Amino acid sequence: MTEISRNAAQEGGQPGRIGIGLELDATHLKILEVLRENGRISVAALAERVGISRANAYTRFEALRADGAIKRFTAEIDHVRTGLGITALIFVTVRQQMWRQFRAQLAAMPEVEYCAITTGQHDAMIQVRMADVAAVHAMVTERLANIPAVKATETVFILDEVLKRPYVLPSDRGPGRSPRRPADPAAAPGGEVPLGKMRFVGAAEGRAQLQQDV
């Protein structure tokens, strides 16, 4: 199993869940489009905006939820108002064989909003929201650096969040484009993935650990 295919499989939810539960049609995508802008809309109003009956809307809404296509509903807040107006990205190099510990420590850090394992120069990217710059510094030097699994960190501040969409959909690129296909079929002639043309940054030492540890 390659790293990327593994990612695709486990992002779905429970381990072992491989099959595609629900085949999403254009109506499902339209529902997701509306829900993206207004997650609290009533199902009745949703039905009207999508152009289907209420009963149909209830059925599909429930199906999307039950299938896991919709994970949950949430709010979007203004972090300045809540006093956490400073956002930082922390790129982390993780020590070999310590991925499990690294993940466990992350769960105990409520100030972390997002963490992703990445290819490239670093192993993971963490996004944190803090009250001020000093708090970011304290977090990196006192909490992150004390984790044995963390070998090195590199901190970058976010000056402005230009764009923040709740999620993107295949239908965003225009109607009629089928999912699970590249935007431009000519980009990968013969079905070959043009990884060689992609510009990767140099891999960190011990990259192969991913296949055994993650």
Partner DNA sequence: GTTGAAATTAGTACGAA
Partner DNA sequence: TTCGTACTAATTTCAAC
Check binding of 157 to a copy of itself (CB under 8 A): yes
Check binding of 183 to a copy of itself (CB under 8 A): yes
Which backbone phi and psi does 194 adopt, to 5 degrees?
A: -80, 55
Cβ 199 to DNA, closest distance in Å? 44
46-52 contacts, C-beta under 8 A, 24 or more apart:
52/27
Rg (CA), the chain: 21
The interface partner of residue 90, options being a copy of itself, DNA, none and the CB cut-off 5 to 8 Å by kind, is none
Closer to a copy of itself by CB, 55 or 152: give it: 152
Which backbone phi and psi does 176 adopt, to 5 degrees?
A: 90, -5
Check binding of 22 to DNA (CB under 7 A): no
User: What letter would DSSP give residue 88?
Assistant: E
Cβ 177 to a copy of itself, closest distance in Å? 9
The interface partner of residue 43, options being DNA, a copy of itself, none and the CB cut-off 5 to 8 Å by kind, is DNA
Question: Which parts of 53-92 interact with DNA (CB under 7 A)?
Answer: 53-56, 58-60, 62
**Pick from 63, 70, 33: which is nearest to 49 by CA?**
33
Question: Which parts of 83-112 interact with a copy of itself (CB under 8 A)?
Answer: 83-87, 89, 103, 106-107, 110-112
Evaluate whether 169 touches 32 at the Cβ level (below 8 Å).
yes
